[in-house]
């Protein structure tokens, strides 16, 4: 379990050593941003309402973005969560 992205300060660079060349090896947590989307800096009220109505697309997008960022840093091939 590694520091989460966002509030805990985790970045792709800080978690790089935990992954192998295939992108395997650790679980990065970013739950606070998923649980409390209204606390994000610059959160738009319309986006917050859309999140409350159907959070799945927002969650998938955040997971995919974090996966892409980590894979870019470690040089791993695609795959990832979607």
Helix, strand, or coil here: 1? coil
Give the pLDDT score at 80: 47
Question: Are 5 and 28 in contact, with CB atoms under 8 Å apart?
Answer: yes
Per-residue pLDDT of 16-62, as tens digits, reads 888 887 878 887 776 776 666 666 656 778 877 887 788 788 878 87
Give the pLDDT score at 78: 52
**Beta-ladder partners of 5:** 10
Closest CA relative to residue 18, chosen from 56, 60, 74, 68:
74
* Structure tokens belonging to residue 77: 């091939």
Crossing angle between the packed helical segments 45-53 and 56-74, to the nearest 10 degrees: 100
């Amino acid at each position: 379990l590694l520091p989460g992205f966002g509030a805990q300060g985790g970045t792709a660079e800080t978690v790089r050593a935990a992954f192998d060349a295939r992108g395997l090896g650790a679980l990065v947590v970013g739950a606070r941003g998923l649980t409390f989307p209204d606390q994000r800096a610059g959160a738009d009220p319309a986006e917050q309402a859309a999140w409350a109505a159907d959070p799945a697309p927002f969650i998938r997008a955040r997971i995919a973005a974090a996966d892409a960022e980590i894979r870019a840093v470690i040089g791993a091939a695609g795959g990832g969560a979607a």
